[in-house]
Homo-oligomer: A and B are copies of this chain.
Amino acid sequence: MALKGLSFEHVPVTLRWEHSDHDRPEYREFNPQANVPVLVDDGGRINQSLAIIEYLDEIRPAPPLLPQQPLDRARVRSLALFIACEMQPPNSLRVQRQLASRFGADPRALSAWQLHWCEVGFTALEAQLSTSAATGRFCHGDSPGLADCFLVPQVYTSQRPVVNADLSKWPTIRRIYQTCLALPAFEGALPQNQPDYESPVGH
């Protein structure tokens, strides 16, 4: 939203290990997928971060978050989807809850589990980014875009003490992360800069 220069009203929905806002029946009625975030706009409700960003790019084309050429667009989507489909899901709150309830995973096992998926994922992503001439100051070229909007929260999460991934192993990812955080749009979106900030959930 900030990259597009769009203003919005922030309605907090806080995820917690117990008594989480997204488990409440009224939230499930509002959003059957029971996940966050949801964008309410023009009479519609949109969830899934990638669907929201594609929507914003369609209704407010400037500045673009996707490049122009189909093959380039596919590259950017592939980077974002790798994070959205293969890095974030195994470490989600709902998967961690099931690991605890079904397999008795304790906080130490949950930390090791999360670190595993960060390590495997960032290693693959570093290979993809570092070997491509299309990578620039950002994931694609020299302007922030859709893939960066997925990279930053994934790196941020990996730096929480409970995961504590060693970013120095992935220098391209670290460089892009730092470049993004130097921009007010990304810095302002950090969890600790939200009005409803609470300590992270999960173990």
Interface residues of A (CB under 8 A from B): 28, 32-35, 41-44, 46-48, 50-52, 54-55, 58-59, 70-71, 73-75, 77-78, 81-82, 84-86, 88-90, 92, 94-95, 98-99, 102-105, 109, 112-113, 116, 120, 124-125, 127-128, 131
Please give the count of copies of this chain that the complex contains: 2
| Given A32-B128, A124-B32, also A46-B98 (CB < 8 A) | no
Rounded to whole angstroms, the CA-CA distance of A51 and B127 in the bound complex is: 19
Closest 5 CB pairs of A and B: A89-B89, A51-B77, A103-B103, A32-B127, A48-B81
Shortest beta-carbon distance from A25 to chain B in Å:
12
- CB pair A78–B131 under 8 Å, yes or no, is no
Rounded to whole angstroms, the CA-CA distance of A52 and B73 in the bound complex is: 10
